[in-house]
Structure 1
């Protein structure tokens, strides 16, 4: 099953004022919720990213991230309900305020909070700019299984667990970047993790919350830690203390996340360092660099330890691997 094309990007920067509103309607035809937009002020600019995560089926998650320079008001009238979407949409406010009117209720989400809306009902959403927000369209059937009272949470601010919202935003950024290379199985797992995190933010049932914390929350945090280690392997500290500080958790919890996969943090970091050296030793672009230099660049501080680890992992010396790679090039 193919993974959906993840990326659609839009910006008004290069458009004239007359072109912006028609273009904005095109954006809303692709977005998490088809809507009409009130006329835009000629000085109003927006930048939008829309992507999909997960397999191309009923479990797909659609995400949009929007930055607006000015206030705008949007409407989902009855005529647009014919598109058949009954998704629940979690709108996470990163800057500015958003006011939602739906089902006879009204509520405002401030920065750091979130608000749930329904595509099955008429609504008005006023974005009080400048604003930045992320909207996540979630299959109603899936979310009702995880959070049976989700419909009761519509148009009620959901900012009680800001740590979950912060993690969700970070996890979405990583998932978007890697979505093009995900296998169908991994894409399905990522979508399930997002469902779990959103259920926790909305208010999952007790049993579902336990599952979500053990499945979605743990895996999302572990994936974020692994991404951090890959990014900072040669740039900064990747100790439990440093990771814990960057991700707002305790060092002990960092260790427990890795131990849950049957590997220690130090083993994972060492494997990443060795893999980096292995790639560089077999890359012709690094043929002129000394093996010690490659080891130090990967974060090793002692050559004897590096050589011991390398032979134990790959069953040969670094120089033997480089020699074999050169023979294969001929």
Structure 2
């Protein structure tokens, strides 16, 4: 499924059939229903590049992924669940929360979790490989089973985007990679607006600095000194703005560049473009250590990415 754009809807009767489909789509898990009434569910999913978007309507049930279900061969996902209807309780690690319609919550499938639906429910699930999240995966993993609203701000944009992808998954060919990148970027921005790690960089100035830096990633001379001068602050104050975040300013710039280099290396439209040219496009002119940097950030070398593009 990964790397393809697939649309498939399954109408299921009985927890066994739902468990089989959900396990194949997400990772091995167990499904139990609370009563004698017949269990029914509809699972409609779309794979867009490396991410999967699934729309689930199901009767009351409990979904459990425990240590017996987790194996070393499982695809490592973080699931981001946009809840639409019905009561559901999310449990992971030492966290437990009742999620309301319109709220978003995450689950990390590399650790046990449980979802309890006391009545019929409906949700959209965005499955993102941990490798696609880079170093953000660790911070996001600490935010599982903690609901956040999608009624305003960037969260609202993410909600609209997920609904649009579900209703009209028409992206084909190279465009699917950019749709996947856009969904992942919106997701990271949604969590960045709420995660405690970002509290110290949540000022309007820090946001303006981020926007400026992203617009100038292709400039090989982009640096803390230049950004600080542009915004009339000291370099020390610039670093202080990012203190307490997931990444220092320099590490964040490096990650954002590597993210775009990875995307372009995977893009069939760049098949005839050299790695050096792709890297230079994003401000990296010394490629001697690029392979190791990509491997450290995403678990993939340049050769892996080039092969993935052909796959």
TM-score interval, smaller chain: 0.5 to 0.7
Q: Whole-Å Cα distance in 2 between the matches of residues 144 and 128 of structure 1?
A: 35
Aligned residues, how many? 200
Aligned with 1:183: secondary structure? Answer: coil
Q: Whole-Å Cα distance in 1 between the matches of residues 47 and 185 of structure 2?
A: 17
State the partner residue of 1:45.
40
1:75 aligns with 2:64: yes
Q: Whole-Å Cα distance in 1 between the matches of residues 166 and 3 of structure 2?
A: 12
Q: Is the 8 A contact 1:103 1:123 kept in 2?
A: yes
Counterpart among 160, 172, 179 of residue 190 in structure 1 = 179
State the partner residue of 1:142.
132
Superposed CA deviations along residues 99-154 of structure 1, whole A, max 9, x for unmatched, are 11111221121111111111010111102322111111112233244576212211
Aligned with 2:133: secondary structure? Answer: helix
Q: Structure 1 residues 100 and 33, CA, compared in 2 at 3 Å: closer, same or farther?
A: farther
Structure possessing the higher radius of gyration over alpha carbons: 1
* Structure 1 unmatched runs, 5+: 55-59, 216-330
Q: Whole-Å Cα distance in 2 between the matches of residues 162 and 33 of structure 1?
A: 31
Counterpart among 22, 28, 34 of residue 28 in structure 2 = 34
Aligned with 1:171: secondary structure? Answer: helix
Q: Which has the higher helix share?
A: 1
State the partner residue of 1:298.
none
* Structure 2 unmatched runs, 5+: 216-311
Counterpart among 72, 77, 85 of residue 87 in structure 1 = 77
1:118 aligns with 2:113: no
1:21 aligns with 2:8: no
Q: Structure 1 residues 201 and 129, CA, compared in 2 at 3 Å: closer, same or farther?
A: farther
Counterpart among 135, 139, 142 of residue 152 in structure 1 = 142
How much does 1:39 deviate?
A: 3.8
Q: Is the 8 A contact 1:98 1:110 kept in 2?
A: yes
Q: Is the 8 A contact 2:5 2:176 kept in 1?
A: no
How much does 1:33 deviate?
A: 4.1
Q: Is the 8 A contact 2:158 2:190 kept in 1?
A: no
Q: Structure 1 residues 161 and 145, CA, compared in 2 at 3 Å: closer, same or farther?
A: farther
Q: Whole-Å Cα distance in 2 between the matches of residues 147 and 160 of structure 1?
A: 20
State the partner residue of 2:309.
none
Q: Whole-Å Cα distance in 1 between the matches of residues 155 and 188 of structure 2?
A: 11
Matches within 5 A, 1:206-245: 210=210
Counterpart among 53, 56, 63 of residue 66 in structure 1 = 56
Q: Is the 8 A contact 2:16 2:31 kept in 1?
A: no
1:174 aligns with 2:164: yes
Q: Structure 1 residues 6 and 163, CA, compared in 2 at 3 Å: closer, same or farther?
A: farther
Superposed CA deviations along residues 187-229 of structure 1, whole A, max 9, x for unmatched, are 1110000001111222265579946xx89xxxxxxxxxxxxxx
State the partner residue of 1:129.
119
- State the Cα RMSD in Å: 3.0
Q: Is the 8 A contact 1:66 1:133 kept in 2?
A: yes
Q: Structure 1 residues 28 and 157, CA, compared in 2 at 3 Å: closer, same or farther?
A: same
Q: Whole-Å Cα distance in 1 between the matches of residues 11 and 173 of structure 2?
A: 30
Q: Structure 1 residues 201 and 127, CA, compared in 2 at 3 Å: closer, same or farther?
A: farther
Q: Structure 1 residues 165 and 97, CA, compared in 2 at 3 Å: closer, same or farther?
A: farther
